[in-house]
Structure 1
Amino acid sequence: MDQREGAAMLEGLIKQAVDEVFDRLSKMQSVKHLFMVDGFSFLRMGAIGERARTGQPLSEPYGSTRRFLDFNELMFLPVQLSRFPLDNHQAVKTDVTIGKRATRPLRVSTPIMITGMAFGSALSKKAKIALAKASTLANTATNSGESGFMPEEREAAANYIVQWNRGRWSNRMEDLPKVDAVEIQVGQGAEGSLGNRVKAENIREDFRVHLGLQPGQDAVRPARFRHIDDPSQFKGMVDELREASGGAPIGLKFAASRIEEDCEVAIQAGVDFITIDGAQGGSGGGREVTINNAGVPLVYAIPRAHRYLQERGVRDQIDLIVTGGLRDAGDFLKAMALGADAVYIGESALLAMIFHQLEKMPPGTNPAQLFLYTGEYADQLDVDAGAQAVANFIKASTTEMQLLAQTVGKDDLHKVDRDDMVALSREIAEITGVQLAYMPQEIRTPPVPVLQ
């Protein structure tokens, strides 16, 4: 067969295939597929199918798949003529103190800390130790998550924040002098205040021992602290934890929701810090219905919390930590410019930890299989390599935050504020109080008359 005959045959095959497609289309009542209908994405269709298969509420890792208004609608304003930027050799302060009034405040060299992700109900022990080691390498802090105090994690972390959780999982008063801060967890962005029950048959021996459970006993996390019957009683809890810890900072963590009301309870409780988890917050296995349908996105929540603490006259007494949907240095510094003192990272830290180890799994495998407690490849995680990768990410992000501060002319990350940004839409301007990019800006120094 010569070249012309081959080309003619190929042309004939293509024509035949096209004719068959058009013939089928002409006989179809509709070419529209369900995923083309507004609201029916592939993810939503898959979720419907999973509920149809199991008859149970759907659980999934990571955060919301919804597209919320976020920090991408804000841009920093470089200074050039009217004010001057900092030179590269001019230092930008990055250190943070959590609990300035505490007997033993928590001091870290970067505002980027590692958020609470529980051993057992979320992460493997290897993953938890890797994150703890990373926090030491980056001179920051890591959070135990709701699984409570873990000796191996404490040993690996220079600064260790322990969550006092509603299930009282691995929460012992005698451990508190060993920790650097205590975070009372009443809710999280992915699930609000929902309770949880882990069946005994799904609890392996190491997790059972860690939680202090008897063989055959389920792990139960109530929706609230059982001994708290009135919001005013949180003060007693805060005082008790403060005394037991020897004066470590005590905070309250809650999902972004009724922000002003919840902040008022925290103020009355006498906390040293507040942690707010936005609606984009992730989970090792949260309910899909709350992940995508409950809570307030972080860009809405930060200005409200910051403003309320100012109005109550306690802004310099209570530190504000935020988390939920923060991905990189730009997000981190924008959150601080809106009022946060520090940020927690979760999904970004996990991605950094495993990014260069993904080749250990077959192509197409969910990356979570490398760090989840139930992950098929969790035993293959290289702890030291993962720790170094997370530390590198935190260090690089801190340096990038310094670069942004330099270009807006600030020598301290905490001096960057709303006046150093513009909003790209009227909606985000109204939400954050940041000036609109398309509106004229007031000149700080009255202009000198131009000589004719």
Structure 2
Amino acid sequence: MFWVILGAGLVVLALAGILVWWSIPWLSRRMIHHLLTRPMSDTWAELYLSMRSTPPVDFLYSSLRANTGDKVIRPLGSARPAHGLDDLAFVPAQLARRPVLETEPVELAVTLGRHRPRPLTFSMPLFLSGMAYGLALTKEARLALATASGEARIPLNSGQGPFLTEERALAYRYILQFGRWDWNRDPDILRQADMIEIQVGQGAMPGNAVIATPGEVGPEIKRLMRLGPDQAPIIHADLYLTRPDEPAALRDVVDYLRQIHPEVPIALKMGAGNELERDLDVALDAGVDVIVIDGTEGATGNAPITLSDHFGIPSLMALVRAERHLRITHTRDDVDLVISGGFREPGDFLKAYALGADAVGIGTIAMFALAHYQITEAVPLYPPTDLVFYRANPRIPLDVEKAARGLSNFLESCRTEMTIAIRTMGHTSVHQLNPQDLSSLDPEIARITGVRYAGHPWAHQSPATPGQKPSEKAPHGIRKAGGLHRAR
């Protein structure tokens, strides 16, 4: 019986194959005739052209809007292309300038708020950006970030969430955000910060209110925020000191924080917009020590896509404009300049430093490093972010030890590669980096940044910063500490 069934099956398959082979030419002719003679709206061509004019992601957004009638939230920043750092390349030191021997030590440590009694010094020009407990990340993710901060000796930013005593104890240095919300205003909490960052906006959500529903956060979050069971966390649109309906001037907020914690730097965090220079002037007049700018690539866990995709300017443009404005106003030595939003790997960090940043904040890439050792527990059924994003009812618990190890390894790898890159440029310190260590692969980016265009011979171009000369060269062609734009 088995052989009869097998033989019958083979005959059926053979007949089916013959039928398919015979019908393919006929079906092809019919489909092509149908496609070329009927109205486009009656054929599959309309679907193809619709997908060209309306990308699948926009179709997804429209479907979500049509389904709920509510705003569409997308984490991890904008997917729209922006002027980035990929059009810049480092200039290697080989003969005209000599590279540094691999045995030479390289200085990566940086300091923010250097005019304060307790400046913020850390081991390399990186820090972990604000990603709020409860409003963005789980408690386990925050503790893993803090553990990696301690191991890498870089600061951790609290974000907009409630203060966690455990993460403060684990972090190497702690940046506490003070902003447009009611929690974390206790002077005892503020005095535990190594730097206080006044938050007026960020790249994906520049200066707008965020109102969660009571069910979006659990009892512990509400307890730390000092909210009742039916109260919702609210991040208001503007700064205030006592009442949300009575906005306060930035200078008043700075003065208030100085009275509470006079020794540490006071920073300002804002999203980058085309009125950047005017915003900078307000910050300078208020007397902040550090200015943190988040480009439009900056991400958050709960940004409406209209704000994320259609507001602000890219990090590269924001950094160049801010650094230039500080020099023009002769305030570059008064404040430190920090950039965040879209930075992913060591080359990005060093390019930002060469263009004038004193440090770079990272967020999204740090979350992926946290998820590394457990990513197979999420995919393919869930996205990797399920391991770190806060939900009142979490689906996949994050292992703090594994997550911290993944991020610590990532940061150590970045430290190693930055050291190699700095030696390859002929330097022994990150502070020696300057625009002449870069060339631009795109004429427009060269014009925006003032970096020399790689398509023309070096000798035929003017320096990146008109009116300023390269610093003296030390033996073997190594530039002395202190770039073209810094006084240290």
| TM-score normalised by structure 1 residue count | 0.92
- For residues 264-319 of structure 1, the C-alpha deviation after alignment (integer angstroms, 9 at most, x for no partner) is 11111111100000000111121111111111100111011111111122212211
Q: Find the counterpart in structure 2 of residue 387 from structure 1.
A: 404
Q: Is the 8 A contact 1:165 1:186 kept in 2?
A: yes
Q: Find the counterpart in structure 2 of residue 145 from structure 1.
A: 159
Indicate the larger mover: 241-250 or 375-384.
375-384
Letter of the 1:337 counterpart: A
Superposition pairs for residues 214-363 of structure 1, below 5 Å?
Answer: 214-227=228-241, 233-257=249-273, 258-363=275-380
- Structure 2 residue 30 is the aligned partner of structure 1 residue 23: yes
Letter of the 2:97 counterpart: R
SS at match of 1:59: coil
Q: Is the 8 A contact 1:148 1:163 kept in 2?
A: no
Letter of the 1:268 counterpart: D
Indicate the larger mover: 239-248 or 126-135.
239-248
SS at match of 1:178: coil
Provide closer, same or farther for how the CA distance between residues 22 and 199 of structure 1 changes in structure 2, counting only shifts above 3 A.
Answer: farther
Provide closer, same or farther for how the CA distance between residues 417 and 14 of structure 1 changes in structure 2, counting only shifts above 3 A.
Answer: farther
Provide closer, same or farther for how the CA distance between residues 201 and 380 of structure 1 changes in structure 2, counting only shifts above 3 A.
Answer: closer
Q: Find the counterpart in structure 2 of residue 449 from structure 1.
A: none
Q: Find the counterpart in structure 1 of residue 139 from structure 2.
A: 125
- Structure 2 residue 121 is the aligned partner of structure 1 residue 114: no
Aligned length: 445
Whole-Å separation in 2 of the counterparts to 1:17 and 1:181: 71
Whole-Å separation in 1 of the counterparts to 2:286 and 2:458: 41
Determine what percentage of the aligned residue pairs are the same residue. Answer: 34
Q: Find the counterpart in structure 1 of residue 201 from structure 2.
A: 187
- For residues 299-355 of structure 1, the C-alpha deviation after alignment (integer angstroms, 9 at most, x for no partner) is 111011111111122212211111000010111111111110000100000001102
- For residues 147-203 of structure 1, the C-alpha deviation after alignment (integer angstroms, 9 at most, x for no partner) is 142212111112110000201323322212211110000001001111011112323
Provide closer, same or farther for how the CA distance between residues 216 and 112 of structure 1 changes in structure 2, counting only shifts above 3 A.
Answer: same
Unaligned 5+ runs, structure 2: 1-6, 461-469, 473-488
Whole-Å separation in 1 of the counterparts to 2:260 and 2:122: 22
Provide closer, same or farther for how the CA distance between residues 229 and 81 of structure 1 changes in structure 2, counting only shifts above 3 A.
Answer: farther
How far off its partner does 1:22 sit? 5.1
Whole-Å separation in 1 of the counterparts to 2:11 and 2:160: 71
How far off its partner does 1:97 sit? 0.7
Provide closer, same or farther for how the CA distance between residues 212 and 431 of structure 1 changes in structure 2, counting only shifts above 3 A.
Answer: same
- For residues 1-50 of structure 1, the C-alpha deviation after alignment (integer angstroms, 9 at most, x for no partner) is 79999778636425535644653454354314266555511111100111
How far off its partner does 1:411 sit? 1.1
Whole-Å separation in 2 of the counterparts to 1:19 and 1:199: 59
- For residues 233-264 of structure 1, the C-alpha deviation after alignment (integer angstroms, 9 at most, x for no partner) is 32222122123124111000000112111111
Q: Is the 8 A contact 2:251 2:285 kept in 1?
A: yes
Q: Find the counterpart in structure 2 of residue 448 from structure 1.
A: none
Whole-Å separation in 2 of the counterparts to 1:125 and 1:163: 17
Letter of the 1:372 counterpart: F
How far off its partner does 1:430 sit? 1.0
Unaligned 5+ runs, structure 1: 446-452
SS at match of 2:452: coil
Whole-Å separation in 2 of the counterparts to 1:24 and 1:60: 40
Q: Is the 8 A contact 1:197 1:218 kept in 2?
A: yes
| TM-score normalised by structure 2 residue count | 0.86
- Structure 2 residue 103 is the aligned partner of structure 1 residue 86: no
Q: Find the counterpart in structure 2 of residue 13 from structure 1.
A: 20
Provide closer, same or farther for how the CA distance between residues 113 and 12 of structure 1 changes in structure 2, counting only shifts above 3 A.
Answer: same
Provide closer, same or farther for how the CA distance between residues 246 and 139 of structure 1 changes in structure 2, counting only shifts above 3 A.
Answer: same
Q: Is the 8 A contact 2:215 2:392 kept in 1?
A: no
How far off its partner does 1:211 sit? 1.0
State which of 227, 237, 242 in structure 2 corresponds to 1:213: 227
